């Protein structure tokens, strides 16, 4: 689908965006703000030629006007836009003119749907895929193999540590050596709860309540608190970086609901914090609460995420940043898009 | 100088290494260990076709046998090797068959020599340059411009935070956005001293003495303790990442020699550590001791280095690792070499 669509040294890069919620709209906002910079810096003219969402789609070969689409989404009036049709993804994928599918629908780690369907349909059409959807955990290796065989790019930076460029760091910055193991704080909600317990002496229940009131935890907190989110991320990380072929069910998982304030205070007295750590040595994948020295670079507080690479030549390297957030995750999606555009 | 020297899909990448001390020998060691992996993974057959050192040179168009050269260097018998000649860099540069000059001679931030001479001579000969030599601070922008005009690569990952891939992270992982400011702990020796004062209640003099005994500080510690090393690194960082055109003398510099144990203890009582921080917002470059919250990801102890990027879209991103060390710095040099080889 990549065309020789040059204008001088300028290349058109056409995007079909599926999912127009926080991350999809964030992606459009970043593009609206930075399109000119990307043209100048990378010779990439990035166009949104299609957007599909629950109620229908917008399609325009010339590029959908961004500010307008963002405005209609923000006002929750997507169906009022002049480009609106009630066509679904299935209708649009067969005809949209796009080089890259950006898949930004919600995660479903049981069935993987509708994310997997979208991604496979894009590969069928010869499109590259960039996704923020952790559903890829369900079929990770199949997707990677399909993309490789077809010579297509498949990128998923936003799925783990939205604000931390983990996969591109691994691929672009650690080429000269092997990564031996990884471990990290992969979920900001649980880290926030553990931080409140450690710093303010709150019980688990009070800290969770506070996290809910601040919008950091969902009403149904099991996805975070029981380590489900961390586990999905660990599987993607380990398969991508350590070449494992694990599935969600292969991970030994324990959440934070049973951690007592007493345990945290005892750890604190001895110079440790308790953090929910996901780790893989390439064979065993485990998510569980662990003692982390307060002096360790991995011991970050609040909603931060941190990942430590144990490498062959650099000892350990730790990268710390925001794990989630609409703009952070959208920016990871954009990074993937630009890296594909710069290569093609 | 890059030739169409293919063997199937294999590309020969010929290196002329100048400086065969810790970093140069470390580079040869990594190559000896990983050459096969690089052939498989990147299709790069990396050969050392020349090595120059204080007493002379080895040259071999077919590639200098690595284990042997490493052995002679370790035994301090470089002149006993059968390839040894007393030719200097000036003799060799005109005739060596190499795609990349790896410049690993000692830093001289006053004159920049002999590093600058080596790098310019390599550019004259159409070679790419990879360096670990902070002497580039003396003429940074001239070197960058020369390389750009000649279409040559000029890479210097090892000059700042040897064990942290700062420049490749900036270039490869943060493409979708601007970096607004940077600040970091850029010198492991001073950080070690400040950590001993903070954790063990040592005076500056005792902590410095301990660092000397452990081989972490030089006999003449001014280069580290007075912030000279941090300043040179900050200039390279700021010029490369924030596009400034500053020189060493433009930096406001203050070292750690006047920090009292009382100041550190007072800071500690209020939840802060004192760290020697280099920072640039793209206009003002400052190296000086600053209060850092013990909760900040930047607050790392011991000889670790840490760099915080304040970015447009990701809030702050912090990367922590070993600042120096022969293998870490050599691995950064190798990363640069591979990234050039993969592109050409």
CA distance linking residue B170 with residue A165, whole number of Å: 10
A166-187 CB burial, b ≥16 within 10 A, e <16: bbbbbbbbbbbbebebbbbbbb
Q: pLDDT over 70 for what percent of chain A?
A: 97
Q: Closest Cα of chain A to B316: distance in Å?
A: 6
Whether A325 has a pLDDT exceeding 90, the answer reads no
CA atoms within 13 A on the CB side of A65: 8
Predicted confidence at residue B344, as pLDDT, reads: 57
Which of these ranges, A85-89, A279-283, A290-294, A324-328, has the smallest mean pLDDT? Answer: A324-328
Q: In the numeric block, which tokens belong to residue A119?
A: 């991604």
Whether A56 has a pLDDT exceeding 60, the answer reads yes
Neighbour count for residue A154 (Cβ, 10 Å): 22
Q: Which residues of B touch A338 (CB under 8 A)?
A: 175-176
Neighbour count for residue B254 (Cβ, 10 Å): 16
Q: How many residue pairs from chains A and B have C-beta atoms closer than 8 A?
A: 132
Beta-carbon separation of A169 and B169 below 8 A: yes
DSSP-derived letter for residue A100 is E
Residues 298-327 of B with CB under 8 A from A: 300-302, 304, 306, 313-322, 325, 327
Which of these ranges, A5-19, A222-236, A311-325, B45-59, has the smallest mean pLDDT? Answer: A5-19
Whether A1 has a pLDDT exceeding 60, the answer reads no
Q: Which of A314, A176, A102, A158 is nearest to A167 (CA)?
A: A158
Q: Where are the domains of chain A?
A: 6-163+326-343, 172-322
CA distance linking residue A199 with residue A197, whole number of Å: 6
Q: Considering only alpha carbons, which residue of chain B is nearest residue A172?
A: B172
Q: Which residues of A touch B243 (CB under 8 A)?
A: none
Beta-carbon separation of B321 and A316 below 8 A: yes
Predicted confidence at residue A292, as pLDDT, reads: 97
Beta-carbon separation of A176 and B319 below 8 A: no
Q: Considering only alpha carbons, which residue of chain B is nearest residue A42?
A: B175
Predicted confidence at residue B163, as pLDDT, reads: 85
Beta-carbon separation of B306 and A297 below 8 A: yes
Predicted confidence at residue B174, as pLDDT, reads: 86
Beta-carbon separation of A30 and B334 below 8 A: no
Predicted confidence at residue B5, as pLDDT, reads: 40
Q: Closest Cα of chain B to A329: distance in Å?
A: 9
What is the pLDDT averaged over residues A110-139? Answer: 97
A188 touches chain B (CB under 8 A): no
- Per DSSP, helices labelled H in B8-165 are 22-42, 66-74, 89-93, 115-124, 140-150
The CA R_g of chain B, rounded to the nearest whole Å, is 21
Q: Which residues of A touch B328 (CB under 8 A)?
A: 313-315
A34-53 pLDDT, tens per residue? 999 999 999 999 999 999 99
A215-266 pLDDT, tens per residue? 888 888 999 999 999 999 999 999 999 999 999 999 999 999 999 999 999 9
Predicted confidence at residue B172, as pLDDT, reads: 85
DSSP bridge pairs for B102: B17, B130
Give A5's pLDDT tier (boundaries 50, 70, 90).
Answer: very low
Q: In the numeric block, which tokens belong to residue B301?
A: 């102890």
The residue written with tokens 């912030």 in the block is: B227
pLDDT in tens, chain B (344 residues): 333 443 347 899 999 999 999 999 999 999 999 999 999 999 999 999 999 999 999 999 999 999 999 999 999 999 999 999 999 999 999 999 999 999 999 999 999 999 999 999 999 999 999 999 999 999 999 999 999 999 999 999 999 998 899 999 998 888 888 899 999 999 999 999 999 999 999 999 999 999 999 988 888 899 999 999 999 999 999 999 999 999 999 999 999 999 999 999 999 999 999 999 999 999 999 999 999 999 999 999 999 999 999 998 888 999 999 887 788 899 999 999 999 998 75
What is the pLDDT averaged over residues A275-288? Answer: 97
Q: Closest Cα of chain A to B87: distance in Å?
A: 31
Does domain B6-163+326-343 correspond to CATH entry 3.40.50.970? Answer: no
Predicted confidence at residue A344, as pLDDT, reads: 57
Beta-carbon separation of B177 and A342 below 8 A: no
A174 touches A206 (CB < 8 A): no
Neighbour count for residue B247 (Cβ, 10 Å): 15
Query: In this complex, which of B314, B320, B335 lies closest to A173 when CB atoms are compared?
Result: B335
CA atoms within 13 A on the CB side of A277: 20
Q: Closest Cα of chain A to B72: distance in Å?
A: 23
As for the ipTM of the complex, it is 0.89
CATH topology assigned to domain A172-322: Dihydrodipicolinate Reductase; domain 2 (3.30.360)
Active site residue A233: yes
């Amino acid at each position: 689908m990549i065309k020789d669509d040059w204008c001088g040294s300028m290349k058109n890069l056409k995007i079909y965006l599926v999912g127009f919620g926080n991350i999809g709209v964030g992606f459009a906002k970043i593009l609206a703000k930075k399109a000119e910079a990307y043209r100048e810096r990378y010779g990439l003219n990035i166009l949104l030629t299609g957007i599909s969402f629950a109620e229908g789609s917008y399609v325009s070969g010339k590029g959908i006007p961004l500010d307008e689409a963002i405005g209609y989404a923000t006002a929750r009036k997507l169906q009022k836009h002049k480009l609106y049709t009630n066509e679904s993804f299935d209708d649009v994928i067969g005809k949209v003119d796009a080089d890259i599918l950006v898949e930004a629908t919600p995660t479903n780690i049981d069935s993987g749907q509708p994310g997997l369907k979208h991604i496979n349909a894009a590969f069928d059409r010869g499109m590259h895929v960039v996704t923020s959807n952790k559903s890829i955990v369900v079929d990770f290796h199949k997707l990677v193999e399909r993309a490789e065989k077809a010579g297509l790019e498949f990128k998923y930076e936003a799925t783990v540590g939205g604000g931390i460029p983990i996969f591109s760091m691994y691929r672009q910055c650690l080429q000269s050596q092997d990564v031996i193991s990884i471990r990290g704080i992969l979920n900001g909600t649980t880290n926030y709860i553990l931080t409140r317990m450690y710093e303010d002496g709150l019980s688990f229940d009070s800290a969770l309540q506070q996290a809910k009131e601040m919008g950091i935890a969902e009403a149904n907190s099991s996805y975070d608190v029981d380590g489900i989110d961390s586990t999905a991320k660990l599987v993607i990380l380990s398969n991508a970086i350590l070449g494992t072929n694990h599935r969600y069910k292969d991970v030994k998982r324990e959440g934070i609901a049973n951690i007592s304030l007493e345990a945290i205070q005892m750890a604190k007295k001895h110079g440790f914090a308790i953090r929910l750590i996901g780790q893989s040595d390439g064979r065993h994948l485990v998510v569980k609460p662990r003692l982390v020295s307060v002096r360790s670079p991995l011991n970050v507080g609040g909603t931060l995420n941190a990942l430590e690479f144990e490498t062959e030549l650099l000892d350990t390297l730790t990268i710390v940043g925001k794990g989630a957030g609409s703009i952070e995750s959208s920016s990871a999606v954009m990074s993937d898009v630009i890296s594909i555009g710069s290569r093609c």
